[in-house]
Structure 1
Amino acid sequence: MTVTSAGTLAALIALVALMTLVVRPRGSSTVDFYLAGQRVGVATNALAICGDYFSAASFLGVAAAVYVSGLDGVWYAVGFAAGFVPVLLFVAAPLRRFGEFSIPDFLGRRLASERVRLVAVGVVQIVILSYLIPQAVGSGITWQLLVGRGLPGLSAYETGVVLSTAVVAGLVAFGGMRGTTWTQAIQFLLLLGALVWLAVAVAGSGFHYSSAVAELSAEPLANPAPGDAGWYLRPEDNQIDPGAPALFGQPGAAYGPLAQFALILTLVLGTAGLPHVMNRYFTSPTGTAARMTTVWVIGLAGLFYALAVMLGTAARQQIAAAVDDHPWLEELTVDGVLLVPEHALPVLGRIYGGDSGLAVVAAGALVAVMSTIAGLLLAAAASWGHDVYERHINPRATETQAVWAGRASTAFVAVAAGALAIAMEPRELTPAVPSIVAAMVTWAFAIAGSALTPVFVLAIWWRGTTAAGATAGMTVGGLVSVSMFVLGALPVGPGLGETLMTPTLVAAPLAALVTWLVSRRTAPPDDVERQWLVLHGTAADRHAERLARLTLASLQQPTRRRSGRTARRREGRDAHG
């Protein structure tokens, strides 16, 4: 580890810790700890959502997917960015107007059911763990490349996992949502700055995207594979036209037609069910602010993923051409192609900026990991601390006790995610996917999009949704998606395995259908009309409804007083015979 790399990492951690200290919540209110007092502005919240959402899968994974499979890797960028369009149209404003702490909290109150709340808590925890593990894997990969050494008794990969989860868990427990919001906003700006710097450096060297795609498509696409005599380059099979070579600039290098559609649908639907992203909308002051925040996020996502696709393409062309001038690349490549695709951006940074460039890009990767881990741990804290501890374990908990329960849950979830990430070290995996980090995150999107999003959207937009229907829908969506994952891990043949690993195409419609069928046979909550007014009514509608209730209460008040006096007189007569 060079002095430059060490200084960059130390400065990054110091900046994050300082920001957390400055803006930490001053009180012990759960609204402050979980929701930052619901006073986060549009621009700040948009930057924080980007810091939350643009994870290791976005920074390392998208570029790695493009590096390995060309155009098929671009589907990750399309799906990740397009996921906020349905959030803008169907979710953001109604969700904030209803105003709760978390997705389980929203579903529990909307459907007047503690069973729904607890089932949603279980699904949310599975999604959070599925999302946390690849973040920890990404931190281990980055530490392994940047530092190359570990703490006593730990490998370099394990050290990266342990340090990233431990540091972020401590900062989240200390700073809560307020501290995390500002650090995530700053972290996203640092992450975007690293991408912009690298894009400028690549473009300044004479790189042109269109000509690079044409050059890379001039010969069949091949990637490293293990053989009897060591690693060699194996041509990729064309999933659309069997027998024809797979090319960088054409679809089919990783996914067939159905698998491509299933991947994009999984990412688009999954976004609306991600707990750490949706919880951020509860921090906005109004529904309008939540909607405008989403508009900002869509614009920033377009810029971010355009840069990631460009740099993944540049890495495929430039790294192969730089092997002769940079002997250190021989340890990382096979005939000019990287053994670990997630190394694409850090290696590109070292080519153009030396150790300083490597430090900048690696720091950006660790920023992405830390920022997303922070959001996921806060979502876990809200789910365990508010939805389970406050409502079921200790309903009489004080604000201080509830906050400490949330802090304790961050430590528990961080330990679980770190242990699973160490157990799933990438060298022990042999996935048939472009990027292990991006693929693992896709599993979280699939569970969220299959089990949570259909029920979530129906609860917002269909009055007839019932607690029994929501419980059945979440259960079916979750079980079907996990079952398809298990089948996809088996040798089921080319094309079908990739489709099974993105099960939302099947599981989400089933979950929606089951929710509808069961809801048709059961009764919705009694106050569904009042809830509908909160979700979808205008400010004027809600103001008129409040005036009507106040007027009705004032008209009933004298009657209540007379009824009370009459009842007391009757009681007196009964007492005196």
Structure 2
Amino acid sequence: MATLALALMVAVLLAVAARPRRASTLDFYLAGQRVGVATNASAICGDYFSAASFLGVAAAVYAAGLDGIWYATGFAAGFVPVVLFVAAPLRRFGEFSLPDFLGRRLGSERVRLAAVLVVQLVIVSYLVPQAVASGITWELLVGAGIGGLSPYVTGVLVSTAAITALVGLGGMRGATWTQAVQFAFLLLVLLWLTGVTVADGFSYPDAVAEVSETPLANPVPVEDGSGEEAGATAGGAVEGRQGWELRAVPDRIDGGAARFDQPGARYGPASQLALVITLILGTAGLPHVMNRFFTSPTGRAARLTTVWVLGAAGLFYALAVLLGVAARAAIADAADGTPWLAELTVDGVLRVPEHALLALGRLAAGGAGLGVLAAAALVAVMSTIAGLLLAGAASWGHDVYERHLNPRATQRQAMRAGRGAVVVVAAIGAAVAVTLRPAELSGLFPSLVATMVTWAFTLAGSALTPVLLLAIWWRRTTAAGAVAGMVTGSVVAIGAFLAGVVGVAGEGDVAGVLLAPAVLGAPAAMLVTVVVSKVTPTPVDLDRTWVRMHGTAADRQAERLAELTIRGLADPDEPRTPRNGRR
């Protein structure tokens, strides 16, 4: 029944996306730049509230208690710098994508191509955890594979194929409406589950107090497959079963055992700060989110859209945190007397934290509740994958194919290139996701999906955000400086992350910083950009560029009239060909 409902919803979304549209690249990539404030805000929420938000935040709270709230804080606060510094000037300047903006702002194709490479790395890093979440959800919802494939791999492939078809058929215009609908569905599901949980007697303060009575402990896999021998030899471990044991979580701040209601279960002081800064900086560099501001009709509409997103984010993440706490309390109470739940848990604690909301939905409303939550999780996955694929298509199709490989491309050829890029990017993300084993990795992180998404935020916040902010607000930024900044940010972020993964810094606070190193990469990128820009020539037409980004409406109108006069157009009302060569 739940699978049928999900299939029906996907069919409706495909029908919405595939309605006949005008075949132009402006429509395919930017929905004609006529998306209203409320619609665009809802679509951005559908784009941004991914599996890391829907499943990951609740999972992080479930597994790490107070430390899991740092994910919600960073995800929501990320739109503060966007509304203050990015949204309006980015839209006023225009273009198709972040690489397109940087390339035209700095007058350099080298900048454009360097940005395309970084954008593709960010997209793949973000795409993989979404595909992983779809496999985890399918595994719990359906529990069976297709054509001899495992349930996890089947979920990855089915969800990726469905959303690839949706994006290929409808482009940005189709994705805008489907993402808006998907966000409404996600929010309604969270509100419904919260209402049912509260009606069943849930109290947030009481639940926090209850789960904090004993030290925080989470399941970890054991090598010998028995759990008994490992439980006897590991300090503080409680004997588990079927290759898992329940192990006390160490407090990374005060030492000893961590508690659910106190910080330190996952992050020390420095790594807490590093995580939040990484998520805040990373938001402004996410290509699939920033590209949406180009679809707004005006800069003012882009800024107002962001304000709406901030309000929705506050509500969404507050509900996710509340439900993560509810899941920790309810699942522990129900595990012993519920056979299906006992199979997913070790002494009342879920082996895979991303199952928290799904299990809570089944406890609240049986199979129907599981179906609704699973459908919402897959919708969150597909909505974000849609935005990522469109961002990838814009980078490859517009910034590479139309600009370099085939500058004389027709509309049909450009559209074909964009759709081809969608398929290739989707295939790369799915191929990486199917090689992972989420159950084996879950014990290493408070939420595997949320942690993996953090890696994309790290790269975006280290390599793209510093250059983007300087290009918008510092007139002296040059092409050479931007390329040097992106390279520096990427190298520092990737190098620090790899050092954290291989355990160079051990298990302490420094290791946590290395796993969310935008706090290191962003300052390095900004410093290098400034130093190199100081000794290289600035772009031409800088005054005109500055007026377009920061001037008043009257200033921009005067600039347009002057440009028309220079071109010899006597009538200022005569239609003007946009910079991309299309009306």
Per the alignment, residue 453 of structure 2 pairs with: 441
What is the CA distance between 1:544 and its match in structure 2?
2.6
Say whether residues 1:291 and 2:288 are aligned partners. Answer: no
Deviations 1:7-47 (A, max 9, x none): 2112211221121123x5x2221001000000000000000
| Alpha-carbon distance, 1:428 to partner | 4.2
- The residue type paired with residue 396 of structure 2 is W
Tell me if 1:180 matches 2:192.
no
SS in 2 for 1:397: coil
Give the corresponding residue for 2:559.
545
Does residue 301 of structure 1 match 2:306? no
Cα deviation digits, residues 142-177 of structure 1 (max 9, x gap): 000000000112100000000011111111011000
1:334 Cα deviation after fit: 0.5
How many angstroms apart in 2 are the aligned matches of 1:407 and 1:526? Answer: 34
| Structure 1 counterpart of 2:507 | 494
Q: Is it true that 1:240 corresponds to 2:286 in the alignment?
A: no
**Which letter does structure 1 place at the counterpart of 2:469?**
V
Distance 2:84 2:566 in 1: 35
Cα deviation, 1:25-79, whole Å, max 9, x if unaligned, reads x222100100000000000000000000000000000000000000000000000
Q: Which position in structure 2 is the counterpart of 1:527?
A: 541
- 2:250 and 2:381 map into 1 onto residues whose CA distance is 32
Amino acid at match of 1:194: V
**Counterparts of 1:431 and 1:442, CA distance in 2:** 17
1:388-417 superposed Cα distances (whole Å, 9 cap, x missing partner): 000110011011100110000100111111
Q: Alpha-carbon deviations, 1:185-236, whole Å to 9, x = none?
A: 0011111111111100110011111111112112110001234532221110
Which amino acid letter does the alignment assign opposite residue 159 of structure 1? T
Show structure 1 runs of 5+ residues with no match.
557-577
Cα distance in 1 for partners of 2:566, 2:7 equals: 62
Does the C-alpha gap of structure 1 residues 481 and 10 become closer, same or farther in structure 2, counting only changes over 3 Å? same
Q: Is 1:476 paired with 2:488? A: yes
* Residues 73-114 of structure 1: per-residue CA shift (max 9 Å, x gap): 000000000000000000000000000000000000000000
By how many angstroms is 1:431 displaced?
6.1
Distance in 1 (alpha carbons) for counterparts of 2:245 and 2:173:
50
> Aligned to 1:163, which of 146, 152, 158?
158
Offset at residue 324 of structure 1 (A): 3.3
Structure 1 residue 424: deviation in Å?
Answer: 1.6
| Partner deviation per Cα, 1:247-278 (whole Å, 9 max, x = no partner) | 10110000000000000000000000000000
AA aligned to 2:250 is: D
Which residue does 2:236 correspond to in 1? none
Provide the rounded CA distance (Å) in 2 between the counterparts of 1:435 and 1:414: 23
d(CA) in 2 for partners of 1:323 and 1:310?
Answer: 20
- DSSP-derived class of the 2:327 partner: helix
Tell me if structure 1 keeps the 8 A contact 2:336–2:348.
no
* Superposition pairs of residues 30-49 of structure 1, within 5 angstroms: 30-49=25-44
Tell me the equivalent position of 1:574.
none
Q: Give the letter for the 1:493 counterpart.
A: G
Give the Cα separation in 1 of the matches to 2:160 and 2:525: 33
The whole-number CA distance in structure 2 between the counterparts of 1:47 and 1:65 is 25
Structure 2: how far apart are the matches of 1:113 and 1:433?
41
Q: How far apart are residue 325 of structure 1 and its match?
A: 3.5
Q: Report SS of the residue matched to 1:465.
A: coil
Aligned residues, how many? 550
1:333 aligns with 2:330: no
Which amino acid in 2 is paired with 1:233?
Answer: L
Which of 74, 79, 86 matches 2:81? Answer: 86
Q: Decide whether the 8 Å contact of 2:126 with 2:453 is kept in 1.
A: yes
Whole-angstrom distance in 2 between the partners of 1:415 and 1:432: 27
In the alignment, is residue 265 of structure 1 matched against residue 262 of structure 2?
no
* In 2, Cα distance between equivalents of 1:549 and 1:420: 49
Unaligned runs of 5+ in 2: 228-243, 571-583
Correspondence 1:106-505 to 2 at 5 A: 106-227=101-222, 228=224, 229-230=226-227, 231-242=244-255, 244-429=256-441, 432-491=444-503, 492-495=505-508, 496-505=510-519
CA distance in 2, matches of 1:149, 1:70: 32
Shift of the 328–546 alpha-carbon distance from structure 1 to 2, 3 Å rule, reads: closer
Give me the whole-angstrom Cα distance separating, in 1, the residues matched to 2:425 and 2:274: 30
Summarize deviations over 1:482-534 as a string: whole Å, max 9, x none. 11111111123122222111010111000000000000000111111100000
Residue aligning to 1:569:
none
d(CA) in 1 for partners of 2:97 and 2:425? 17
Q: Deviations over 1:129-150 (max 9, x none)?
A: 0000000000000000000000
Q: 1:234 is paired with a residue of what secondary structure? A: strand
Give the fraction of aligned pairs with identical amino acids, expressed as a percent. Answer: 65
